[in-house]
Amino acid sequence: MPDGSTIKNIFRYSAVNFAATVLMFLIMRADFYFVERYCSTLVLANYVQVAKIGQMALVFPGLLGGVIFPFTVNADESFSEKISFFCRVLTLIFIILLIIFLAAGPFIFTPMLGPDFYLMFRGLAATGIGVYCLAIGLILTSYFEGKNTQKIILVSNMVALLIILAGDTVFVPAFGYIAAALIFSTANLAGMIILLLHFMKKTSLSVKDIFLLKSSDSFIFRFWRK
């Protein structure tokens, strides 16, 4: 049977994770309140559709995070190189998707969804950085959870949520949904930077190591050609 100290630590771990999860839920939903309040129903419909596409883009990083967490628990510091590899892969994927989006985005949403969804290209362009930062954040979050340092995640999510609430309160009434989209990206960029700084401090990796492809990653291109 677990002793009192073990039970206390389990509840502490669960409580911090629960709080971080609630904050993440609010980060993904808080801007809906402001868009609904200050914009038209048509604009809200476009914004909700933009959010759905962004959430779809986070499915793959979420799956990676689920794989990373159990391996991180008992891994040594060399495992951090695998974390940086996943970040480099995600960066490459998002760059490719960005090129496709800029080339085809203006022409696909209204034929697919109807003439009322003419705001989606601008909305996705404004939230793209935020979605990318969330994707990197999911990878780093799984690493910190495995290392039992969830307080960093809690601080990151709290800062992001405060930026969204403050920014939307000030700017959405004047500038509408595009302000909400840009503030969403700014907030998640700030949250990712907090996680990234702690990760680099803990692992001694540089920004270049985390985001720029290395010669050892060349097998990605060989696999793609096959």
In the chain, domain spans: 4-225
Whether residue 226 has pLDDT greater than 50: no
Max Cα distance, the chain (Å): 62
Query: Measured between alpha carbons, how far is 175 from 189 in angstroms, rounded to an integer?
Result: 21
Higher pLDDT pick, 197 / 3: 197
Give me the pLDDT at residue 202, please: 87
Whether residue 224 has pLDDT greater than 50: no
68-77 pLDDT per residue, tens: 887 787 777 7
The SS3 of residue 114 is coil
For residues 10-25, give the mean pLDDT. 88
What pTM does this model have?
A: 0.89
Q: Quote the tokens at residue 138.
A: 């999911």
Query: Measured between alpha carbons, how far is 196 from 158 in angstroms, rounded to an integer?
Result: 15
Query: What is the residue-averaged pLDDT of the chain?
Result: 88
Query: Measured between alpha carbons, how far is 187 from 29 in angstroms, rounded to an integer?
Result: 13
Give me the pLDDT at residue 219, please: 55
Whether residue 220 has pLDDT greater than 70: no
User: Nearest Cα to 198, choosing from 157, 154, 144, 134?
Assistant: 144
Whether residue 225 has pLDDT greater than 70: no
Q: Tell the residue number behind the tokens 């190189």, with chain if given.
A: 81
150-188 pLDDT per residue, tens: 889 999 999 999 999 999 999 999 999 999 999 999 999
